[in-house]
Amino acid sequence: MAYFYIKALHIIFIVTWFAGLFYMVRLFVYSAEANNKSEPERSILLKQFALMQKRLWYGITWPSAILTLIFGTWIGILYGSLPSWLLVKLFFVLGLFIYHLSLQSIFNQQKKENFKWTSQRLRMWNEVATLFLIAIIMLAVVKELLSVVWGIVVLIAFTFLLLLAIKIYKKYRKD
């Protein structure tokens, strides 16, 4: 019985972690764009976005990531064994955590008003979380039924569609 409560908590914190990751990069985009504005608008926006980033990052995103890992590990312990699909999923979770740490680096840069990433590059980087989300959820739900070949084909096709959508959006935004 405890397994299902732990699994529910794990899923809840996965959702809040991803929500934090997605919104954090949007705030990075807004900050990068605000940095190009003239004063006093620039300072006002950067101050507000910095406050929003800090609250989101330390109040939601980091705690959700940690609780996701705690409840996921607990599920793994209760599950007992590590089937092959779970090992592949854990590989993607590791990649997601590395992505999370890359956002920490961007967060630290923007705190110092050091904007190395353009808004367009940040928009593309935001889609990396989408790819991790798809891979992790597909592995968690479909498990052994997921063909490695079809999984890779779908992931590549979805990546292509995301890049195409970003390119179309960029063109639409300029017009």
Rounded CA gap, 20 and 56, in Å?
A: 7
**H or E stretch including 161?**
helix 148-174
Check: CB of residue 115 under 8 Å from CB of residue 35.
yes
* SS3 (DSSP) at 41: helix
The radius of gyration of the chain from alpha carbons, rounded to an integer in Å, stands at 18
Name residues whose C-beta falls within 8 Å of residue 117's C-beta, 6 or more positions apart in sequence.
Answer: 28, 32, 106, 109, 125
37 is in an annotated binding site: no
10 is in an annotated binding site: yes
Which residues fall in the annotated binding site for heme?
Answer: 10, 89
Which residues fall in the annotated binding site?
Answer: 10, 89
